[in-house]
Structure 1
Amino acid sequence: MSAVSDVIVVGGGVSGLTTALVLAERGLRVRVWSRDAAQDTTSAVAGALWWPYRIEPEALVGAWSLETLRVYEEMAAAPGRTGVRMVAGVHGGERLAALGPWARSLEGASDVAEGLRVTLPLIDMPVHLRALEDRLAEAGGVAERRAVRDFAEASAEAPVVVDCAGLGARELAHDPGVRPVRGQLVVVENPGVDEWFVQADPASSETTYFFPQPGGLVLGGTAEADDPRTEPDPRTAREIVARCARVRPEIAGARVIGHRVGLRPARDAGVRIEAEELPGGGLLVHNYGHGGAGVTVAWGCARAAARLVRRAPVG
């Protein structure tokens, strides 16, 4: 017999766990249903630098991002436990005045010859996901490995279902605008790089970035729309290393220690946060379509979705 729940969150990546945590810390009885363990989700292979990259709608993303930034700044006080560190770096080619109004809230950001220099949250995702799971458990939430074929399965066991299914929302929410954007990374032994660098052209499928993480220097990357391949491509890996080495030549000789591929859950119309009634009187709250910026907007979107849950007849 399943445990009595107020809410079932479908999806166990960073968006699902963060949303579940917000709800559980409000005192609701929350279960997370996820086909994959958190360490096997797309979130686990993210870079993961805070930055509102390739995400819409523009009118809402800034506020969601800044709300999340404030949470990460607090978490950075305990990086070993949370996986969050504040690290300096450069966004190549960017200028503060060319960014949205949200950028005025970035403390210490300044234009330099190479681009925009700023200190931002850099997140070790395996550690961070474990921290979210631990905090969820402390709040009374339960994470379960369970594949979901239809939201009706969840609504039969809780009056509220929250859809954080990522790419799975294409089928579950019958949303053809959900599509994979393939990202490939290379992890090398860090040759002494202690700052991050990003140079991204939104019109290109190729980006150049490196992030110094505890487990190595993470090099990237790609943004290949509608490419479902999950195996690393050797030629792409060589090109990633070469691009990064043009910025920091010492990267060229660094020993490769791993490859990562993740399918970012993008949505043509941007992030979807809205509620709808389910047959039988249940409430379905959607929170998906974050693309490659799920980490960046996790807390802002989770709180926006949680506000919709208040409409539900939870006990």
Structure 2
Amino acid sequence: MHQNNNQRVSTAAGAAGDAIVIVGAGIIGLDVALVLAERGLGPFITVIAEHLPGDTSANYTSPWAGCNFSGISGTDANAIKWDRLGYAHLTKLASEQGDEAYIRRTDSIEYWDEHVPHDKIKAISEYLEDFKEIPSQELPPGVRFGISFTTLTLNAPKHIEYLFRRLKDQYGVHFIRHRFPTIQAAYASPTTKVVINCTGVAAKTLPGVEDAKCYPTRGQVVLVKAPRVKRNIMRHGRDYETYVIPRPGTDGHVILGGYMQKGVNDISTYSYETESIVSRCLKLCPELQPFDVIASFAGLRPSREGGARIEREEIVVDGKKKVLVHNYGAGGTGYQAGYGMALEAVGTVDDVLQELERAGRRSRL
């Protein structure tokens, strides 16, 4: 049930619990909550979002992801840094809580038809487990370059449900279902010290943010049952992305994709796209046979010109200066870059958080 007014939102978590308000409960908001909670700030956090893990909506991107760690992310310094931090986090999680977190180490092959990002590949080769370049004579026709390594595959909807439970039960994070009319409305409680904006696609239209650089990137995927598939395979083409991602914690479910349709916000699925995906994936991964199609899904990746925005700013609410942190625009890399992005976003308000940590220590004395 939706909260009906800001007063109910501001009092639901209690005075301490809304010192930090995270707006949005996709993987980006959940990773921010996790980074904060690992600092001992769980009881100070309230996550407020229209959709929570367990929901499905075209406007709630995270449940629809493939998802894995791959070379699909950008080549800029930020993307490379966030990927390194994300891989370390996901690898540790796979080792310590893999089954519970629906995350698994998986053999992976990636191919590039052209535009090979050599500098980026060199950077990721320094930390990817079992990294190897594939000899040119072993590459499929039309492929210019390939690598193999150990990736992390995740069951996206189950992984965010795991984070939701862990944040609530282990760390005492509060969650409230509510849609804010403006970003300023997130400061309804006088005890709120900082708001972290993790609104994804909504950052384009949310009053008080309205970032014109944001745009959706539509994807369609096909969920199949193909128990023979044990490895992750991706092929980066000139105008397509093809991928085969086995889904942890299932009875042989595999995600097939896909599309990267910039600026398209159509949430329908199309049979001709399903046929194209299946055809491309069969060429890439013969061990798909035999398979059964379970369903097709479409989702809107929260993309942004120039890459993700991680920035602290001061805004004025009711005549008072307030701290606002933006963390959105990850596109299709939220799961692999999200933890690194969260570390950076949280770092921008370390001064505010140190005050809360001191207050927490005093309250325990």
TM-score by length of 1: 0.93
The residue that corresponds to 2:52 in the other structure is 37
Residue 119 of structure 1 aligns to a residue whose secondary structure is: strand
The match for 1:176 among 212, 215, 231 is: 212
For 2:82 and 2:194, locate their aligned partners in 1 and report how far apart those are by CA, in whole Å: 23
Q: How does 1:143-154 map to 2 (within 5 A)?
A: 143-154=175-186
Deviation (angstroms), 1:191: 4.5
**Code of the aligned partner of 1:162:** I
Residue 97 to residue 268, structure 1, CA distance change in 2 (3 Å): closer
Residues 182 and 261 in structure 1, CA contact (< 8 A), matched pair in contact too? yes
CA distance in 2, matches of 1:96, 1:304: 24
Contact 1:181 1:264 in 2 (8 A): yes
Counterpart of 1:64? 82
| 8 Å CA contact retained: 2:86, 2:337 | yes
Stretches of structure 2 that go unaligned for 5 or more consecutive residues are 1-10, 140-145, 360-365
Structure 1 position 118, deviation (Å): 0.6
TM-score, normalised relative to structure 2: 0.81
Which residue of 1 is the match for residue 343 of structure 2? 303
Looking at structure 1, the residues matched to 173 and 180 of structure 2 have their Cα atoms a distance apart, in angstroms, of 18
1:58-97 alignment, distance < 5 Å: 58-77=76-95, 78-93=97-112, 97=118
- Of 202, 207, 212 in structure 1, the residue corresponding to residue 246 of structure 2 is 212
Which structure would you say has the larger Rg? Answer: 2
1:108-127 equivalences under 5 Å are 108-112=130-134, 113-114=138-139, 115-127=146-158
Shift in Å at residue 127 of structure 1?
2.1
- d(CA) in 1 for partners of 2:182 and 2:351? 22
Deviates more, 1:70-79 or 1:282-291: 70-79
Distance 1:162 1:100, change over 3 A: farther
Indicate the residue corresponding to 1:135 in structure 2.
Answer: 166
Contact 1:81 1:127 in 2 (8 A): no
Deviates more, 1:297-306 or 1:71-80: 71-80
Write out the 4+ residue segments of structure 1 that deviate beyond 4 Å after TM superposition.
94-98
Aligned-partner Cα distance in 2 for 1:221–1:119: 21
Q: 1:279-298 alignment to 2 at 5 Å?
A: 279=316, 280-298=320-338
Q: Which residue number in structure 1 is paired with residue 38 of structure 2?
A: 25
Alignment length (residue pairs): 312
The 1:8–1:67 alpha-carbon spacing in structure 2 relative to 1, beyond 3 Å, is same
Contact 1:63 1:102 in 2 (8 A): no
Partner Cα separation in structure 2 for residue 38 and residue 166 of structure 1: 15
Q: Are the counterparts in 1 of residues 201 and 216 from structure 2 also a CA contact under 8 Å?
A: yes
**Unmatched 5+ residue regions in structure 1?**
none
Superposed CA deviations along residues 33-71 of structure 1, whole A, max 9, x for unmatched, are 111122333111111111252436x11111111111111
SS class of match (1:38): coil
- C-alpha contact 1:68 1:298 (8 A) present in aligned 2: yes
239, 243, 254: which one aligns with 2:280: 243
State the identity %. 29
**Where do 1:153-172 residues align within 5 Å?**
153-157=185-189, 158-172=192-206
1:249-303 superposed Cα distances (whole Å, 9 cap, x missing partner): 4536521101111100000021111101120221000111100001111111111
Of residues 53, 60, 77 in structure 1, which corresponds to 2:72?
A: 53
Query: Offset at 1:30?
Result: 0.4
Q: Do the aligned partners of 1:96 and 1:111 also contact (CA within 8 Å) in 2?
A: no
Please give the residue correspondences for 1:192-207 in structure 2 after superposition, counting only pairs within 5 Å: 192-201=228-237, 203-204=238-239, 206-207=240-241
Q: Note the C-alpha offset of 1:126.
A: 1.9
Q: Deviations over 1:67-118 (max 9, x none)?
A: 1111111111232101110000200238795525233222321112232111
The residue identity in structure 2 corresponding to 1:284 is L
CA distance in 2, matches of 1:176, 1:48: 27
Counterpart-to-counterpart distance in 2, 1:8 and 1:275: 14
Q: C-alpha distance in 2, partners of 1:274/1:260? A: 32
In structure 1, what is the Cα distance between the partners aligned to 2:40 and 2:225?
44
- Partner Cα distance (2:216, 2:150) in 1: 30
Does the Cα contact within 8 Å between 1:96 and 1:103 map onto a contact in 2?
no
1:254 and 2:291 equivalent? yes
Contact 2:89 2:339 in 1 (8 A): yes
